[in-house]
């Protein structure tokens, strides 16, 4: 019968065979019988082994290194860093594959999650859940699908609204924007270095004001009634909100077609300046706008119709 075990004679004769030694590596230290270890200073306590408060008081041993001031590892820092990189790479690859599999099975929910994950916390959590567990619960999936369908309906409604939005007189828009620019320049000349509020015009209970230069709708004109958003004038169209009825739409379109004339008519009919909302008296009631506002908006020529000079 073939022997499966090595001979034990050398235990009695004292012949133990060749002695194997561990290779010596740079920066290695001896620890418990020539076993290699690598020491690194604790970054939490900076090698002191003490926990120090912001006021400089030592409150006891460091919680991270247990008061040792250092950590001892079996592998070098370079080897551990490489291992971490490889692990992160494997995790990323696995996450990509997991998400790809989910997207193939649930394309509607997956597309919605990808679109919303940067701006919607719920979508970000659903993405993390898929990567971690490989799928969503039935309730989570139903919620994502319902929200995706809701957003799709809103997008279709918005596209239809843009397509059917009334065209606005382009020349009138340019004249109104020029008036707002003159108002800014006027205010800047009167108070150099002072922050200038966005100019606006009030007519029929509605205000029209230009979007700020750093907004996502730069170049557009906003229409509001108090704090209620009624729409915006952009790309030659008035994109009205649901709160804007047909009467208000007609007022906006008429005003934008000829801002100066509309401002004059509004002031004459109501006795209120459409720029500053002050009450107009005597000759200014005939002009439909106050003297300062007429100069500020570049509408001083309105006085010519009535023989009134600034």
Note the pLDDT tens digit of each residue in 283-297: 778 778 888 888 888
Please report, for residues 95, 139, 273, the alpha-carbon distance to residue 260 in angstroms, rounded to integers and kept in the order given: 61, 57, 12
Are the C-beta atoms of 188 and 204 separated by less than 8 Å?
A: no
Q: Do both 147 and 98 map to the same domain?
A: yes
Following CA atoms 127, 129, 130, 133 in sequence, which dihedral angle do they give, to the nearest 10 degrees?
Answer: 160
Range of the domain at 65: 28-73
- N-terminal to C-terminal alpha carbon distance within the chain: 126
Q: Do both 189 and 277 map to the same domain?
A: yes
- Identify the segments of the chain with pLDDT beneath 70: 1-35, 54-56, 58, 191-197, 300-310
Which pLDDT does position 28 carry in this prediction? 53
Residue with tokens 């490489």: 82
Rounded Cα–Cα distance for residues 205 and 270 (Å): 11
Identify the domain boundary among 9, 38, 73.
73
The DSSP-derived string for 172-237 is HHHHHHHHHHHHHHHHHHHSTTSPPPPP-EEETTEEEEEPPTTSTTTT-EEEEETTEEEEEEETTE
Which pLDDT does position 21 carry in this prediction? 55
Residue 21 lies in a domain: no
Q: Do both 42 and 60 map to the same domain?
A: yes
Q: Do both 292 and 236 map to the same domain?
A: yes
Q: Do both 100 and 186 map to the same domain?
A: no
As for how many domains the chain has, the answer is 3
Residue 62 lies in a domain: yes
Which pLDDT does position 201 carry in this prediction? 86
3-state secondary structure of 48: coil
Q: Do both 191 and 118 map to the same domain?
A: no
Which pLDDT does position 116 carry in this prediction? 95
Q: Do both 119 and 222 map to the same domain?
A: no
Residue 181: closest CA among 219, 235, 233: 219
Which pLDDT does position 176 carry in this prediction? 85
Element (H, E) at 261: helix 259-270
Q: Do both 159 and 178 map to the same domain?
A: no
Which pLDDT does position 189 carry in this prediction? 82
């Amino acid at each position: 019968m073939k022997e499966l075990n090595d001979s034990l004679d050398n235990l009695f004769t004292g012949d133990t065979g060749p002695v194997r030694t561990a290779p010596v590596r740079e920066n290695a230290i001896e620890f418990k019988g020539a076993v290699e270890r690598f020491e690194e200073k604790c970054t939490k306590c900076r090698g002191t082994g003490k926990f120090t408060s912001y006021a400089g008081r030592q409150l006891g041993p460091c919680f991270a290194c247990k008061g040792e001031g250092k950590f001892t590892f079996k592998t070098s820092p370079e080897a551990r860093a490489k291992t971490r990189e490889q692990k992160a790479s494997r995790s990323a690859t696995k996450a990509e594959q997991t998400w790809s599999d989910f997207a193939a099975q649930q394309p509607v929910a997956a597309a919605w999650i990808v679109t919303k994950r940067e701006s919607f916390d719920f979508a970000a959590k659903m993405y993390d859940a898929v990567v971690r567990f490989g799928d969503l619960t039935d309730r989570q999936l139903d919620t994502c699908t319902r929200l995706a369908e809701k957003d799709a309906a809103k997008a279709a409604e918005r596209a239809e609204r843009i397509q059917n939005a009334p065209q606005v007189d382009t020349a009138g828009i340019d004249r109104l924007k020029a008036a707002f620019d003159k108002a800014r320049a006027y205010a800047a000349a009167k108070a150099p270095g002072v922050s200038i509020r966005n100019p606006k015009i009030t007519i029929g209970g509605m205000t029209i004001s230009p979007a700020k230069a750093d907004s996502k709708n730069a170049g557009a004109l906003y229409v509001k009634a108090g704090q209620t958003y009624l729409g915006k004038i952009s790309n030659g169209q008035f994109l009205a909100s649901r709160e804007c009825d047909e009467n208000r739409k007609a007022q906006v379109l008429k005003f934008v077609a000829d801002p100066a004339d509309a401002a004059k008519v509004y002031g004459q009919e109501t006795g209120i300046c459409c720029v500053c909302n002050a009450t107009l008296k005597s000759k200014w009631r005939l002009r439909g706008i106050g003297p300062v506002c007429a100069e500020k908006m570049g509408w001083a020529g309105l006085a010519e119709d009535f023989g009134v000079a600034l």
